Amino acid sequence: MKDELYVTIPQGKLLGKEWISTFTGDTYYGFSRIPYAKPPVKELRFMPPQPADGWQGVRDATIEGDDCLQYSVFKLSLIGSEDCLHASIYTPEPPCKITSPKPVIVIIHWGGHAWGSCSSKICGCVDFMMKSDVVIVAFNYRLHVFGFLNLGIPECPGNMGLKDQVMLLKWVQNNIKYFGGDPNNVTLHGISSGASSVHLHMMSPMSKGLFHKVILQSGYALNPIWSYQVSPYERALELANVLGYKGSKNPQQVLKFFKSKNGADIVNGSGVLRNIKKTEDVIRFEAFSFLPSIERIEEGAFMLKTPREMFADMRPVPALLSMNQKEGMVVICADNNILKIVFKKLGKSVKENLWHYKITPDTLTMMTKKIRSFYFEQKNAPTADEIANLYTDMWFCEWNNMIDSLAAHPDSPPVYIYHFTFDGEYNFSKKWFGHTVLEDIKGAIHADDASYLLTYRILLEDSDGNIEYKEKESEIIRKMVSLVTNFVKTGNPNSAATNEVYWKPFHPQNPSHLLFDENLSIVEDRINPERVALWNEFIDIIKEEEPTVNKPEKNRTKMSNLDEMSGSNFMSMFSSFKP
């Protein structure tokens, strides 16, 4: 066995393997199934992560470990294990031959905090980027109930999935040098719910100093669907009841019950709970039922305030952020009946999707009237594009406020914005989720841009495991990889490979963005400026009418109000996928 395939870290010795990029044909090196925390099983189930143990001898890092336990939207079955807190490290050269530390990308996968993994078949294939002289880290974190059950007690404080991510970032700081990576040049990269996590890390004191740049593709922490949950204890009780719990509301008893249950039963029970929560009109119902939430135990907390309240704590770092042309189209991919339903029950749709705002009846009436006039040309037959535009704006209505906050000061680190509109064969979300409902979706939908940075082998491989890359899509891949990896290296995405434009940082007083289509171009304005102006008007009115929204809740360690928390359902984008 080649000596160059071995790496020794403080935990022990690893044996990796050579990988061959399906895109460039180049050889790179991978080390998989590296534990960054102890297995969160038995007494550690629902507890914050603990530092990983070491091992004797050589650990086989040539094979990938289990995904975290979940219901797979790809296989339509239960997969994974609770013993899943491991990372995969990919390097362009054998680590023993790297003489100068290379920039590091840490990828937080998508999946609504409910599914996804670092698997090379799904979210973690780095074939496109491995010729770009960077070290890449992909990893699993606990999902759904196992990652986000919050009982408000030290034995189950909540946000375990986010704390797993922090543990991984600490592990990277202590170990990435052994793989040739630079711990002082770490970019945290998230897609969809992963981008929401990145945004939360920018605000949580727990993550301070663990990364130096960020990339947020198709997401941020104020998305109302997969970013935040109001009533975690009530949701826990609902799931416990589904699973047969007959005891009291005492959190210790509820925890004892959950720890006694088989993991597969818990995941299947959450699917039953989704169906119970599902409403006939599909405007908004339970899909991502366990999400980041406020913690009531201050010691070791990841977040003690809502994402809106945490905005003031956001730490500016060099940032690259994207929005796709039709982010909201995924709601139609879930069920095209929503075309008629939303139009008929528009006021309810607005209220339900903006659940995290306190909207007065008069303001809701005003908003509904203006939305109907602004978005819908037909009086009784809305188009898919019209509904997609509305949902895009409801879900991203404060995205521009985040950008402005990051870029407002003259000395702020650079912030680069792009609008992805390319409609190609590899647009992952559209190819996978859209085909089940709409035959001919035009444009780029939610998270499609990530398809040109990471290889989704599950979609591109033929029956023999081969991939044939098309010329037009390959050029988009080269442009995307060049812009992203140059940003990772220098904080500036511009490079010789994309010299058709000069992409300048965003500034609120002089806004501009990169239009990312078959040809790159610069637009001297915000993305969708008329729509931004409309929603800025709405949000300003709403905030004026909720003067106490930014006041932090007091006495968070008390349990007296847990049983009185109000519930909140979440819109399912992928309703057809259920256990």
How far, in Å, CA of 406 to CA of 371, rounded?
29
Instruction: Reduce the DSSP state of residue 31 to 3 states and report it.
Output: strand
Instruction: Reduce the DSSP state of residue 411 to 3 states and report it.
Output: coil
Please check whether residue 562 is in contact with residue 252, taking contact to mean a CB–CB distance below 8 angstroms.
no
CB-count exposure of residue 12 (10 Å: 0-12, 13-18, 19+): middle
How far, in Å, CA of 1 to CA of 538, rounded?
64
How far, in Å, CA of 567 to CA of 51, rounded?
35
Count CA within 13 A, CB hemisphere, residue 239. 30
Count other C-beta atoms under 10 Å from residue 536's C-beta.
14
Report which secondary-structure segment, H or E, holds 174: helix 160-175
CB-count exposure of residue 225 (10 Å: 0-12, 13-18, 19+): buried
The alpha-helical segments, DSSP class H, found in 345-470 are 346-353, 361-375, 384-395, 399-407, 428-432, 457-460
How far, in Å, CA of 449 to CA of 477, rounded?
10
Catalytic site residue 88?
A: no
Please check whether residue 28 is in contact with residue 91, taking contact to mean a CB–CB distance below 8 angstroms.
yes
Contacts of 349 (CB under 8 A, 6+ apart): 283, 284, 341, 342
Q: Which of 221, 575, 215, 571 is nearest to 420 (CA)?
A: 215
Count CA within 13 A, CB hemisphere, residue 517. 10
How far, in Å, CA of 488 to CA of 137, rounded?
13
How far, in Å, CA of 388 to CA of 448, rounded?
14
How far, in Å, CA of 160 to CA of 349, rounded?
31
CB-count exposure of residue 116 (10 Å: 0-12, 13-18, 19+): buried
Q: Is the four-CA dihedral 115, 193, 286, 551 of positive or negative sign?
A: positive
Q: Which residues of 484-514 are buried (b: 16+ CB within 10 A; e: fewer)?
A: bbbbbbebbbbbeebeeeebbbbbeeebbbb
Q: Which of 513, 536, 509 is nearest to 398 (CA)?
A: 536
Catalytic residue chosen out of the listed positions 21, 88, 117, 192? 192
Instruction: Reduce the DSSP state of residue 543 to 3 states and report it.
Output: helix
Please check whether residue 506 is in contact with residue 416, taking contact to mean a CB–CB distance below 8 angstroms.
yes
Q: How far is CA 241 from the centre of its chain?
A: 29
What region does 170 belong to: left with phi over 0, alpha with psi -120 to 50, or beta? Answer: alpha
Q: Which amino acid is at 28?
A: Y
Instruction: List residues with catalytic annotation.
Output: 192
